[in-house]
Chains A and B, each alone.
Chain A
Amino acid sequence: EVQLVETGGGLVQPGKSLKLTCATSGFTFSTAWMHWVRQSPDKRLEWIARIKDKSNNYATDYVESVKGRFTISRDDSKSSVYLQMNSLKEEDTATYYCTTSGSYGDYFDYWGQGVMVTVSS
């Protein structure tokens, strides 16, 4: 059974940093492309980052709104993917989901339960 478990969320002040962790099991993590998707309080979904596998040099992509502030990374030995979030803004307030990439394209075939991040002073 595929499992994705996100941790590390919480309340943080604007300008501060937070690191999310997604621990996975039940599939071959080392060859999987992984994503982070967030859902704002008004329920809108936004893809924010992707990391490819070792054979693709762990290439990363980001949505424009988080470029230069967020960093996606992975540790294949721990079957985990991370999201380092710096210079947080109030508009980053959302539930953050870790997802796997589909076999036929960048859709999201398995999702974690999500972790809440609130950016507020």
Chain B
Amino acid sequence: DIQMTQSPASLSASLGETVTIECRASEDIYNGLAWYQQKPGKSPQLLIYNANSLHTGVPSRFSGSGSGTQYSLKINSLQSEDVASYFCQQYYDYPWTFGGGTKLELK
């Protein structure tokens, strides 16, 4: 199975700040990567697919980049509503696997 390693596990940032979350795959996943946001008590919601494509309705302050085994999610101009946990997921190879998550809090 492809292992997905996210960093950091938790992050504290100020409003308006730019935040970057990293995700590393144990092998090349050829941009088969998605990012999800999960707010407390809610189900995960898709943000990014194909490593850098924004899902419908997702604010443009979210962006994804990367290739090979290294990917990142960037949040520009952090808003209070961005407080959540973020997960990456590879769908290049079965079984589909997730990173352990990054909990983002406000400083």
A residues near B (Cβ < 8 Å) are: 43-47, 61, 63-64, 97, 102, 104-114
B contacts with A, residue count (CB < 8 A): 23
Given the complex, which residues of A lie within 8 Å of B46, measured CB to CB? 102, 107-110
Given the complex, which residues of B lie within 8 Å of A45, measured CB to CB? 44, 87, 89, 98, 101
* Proximity string of chain B (79-100) to chain A, C-beta cutoff 8 Å, 1 when within and 0 when not: 0000001010101001111101
Given the complex, which residues of A lie within 8 Å of B20, measured CB to CB? none
Residues 33 to 79 of chain B near chain A (Cβ within 8 Å): 34, 36, 42-46, 49-50, 53, 55
In the complex, A109→B91 CA distance in Å?
A: 12
Once the chains bind, are A43 and B49 in contact (CB under 8 Å)?
no
Instruction: Give the residue of B34, B42, B95 whose beta carbon is less than 8 angstroms from that of A107.
Output: B34
In the complex, A104→B30 CA distance in Å?
A: 13
Once the chains bind, are B43 and A97 in contact (CB under 8 Å)?
yes
In the complex, A113→B44 CA distance in Å?
A: 9
CB distance from A112 to the nearest CB of B (A): 7
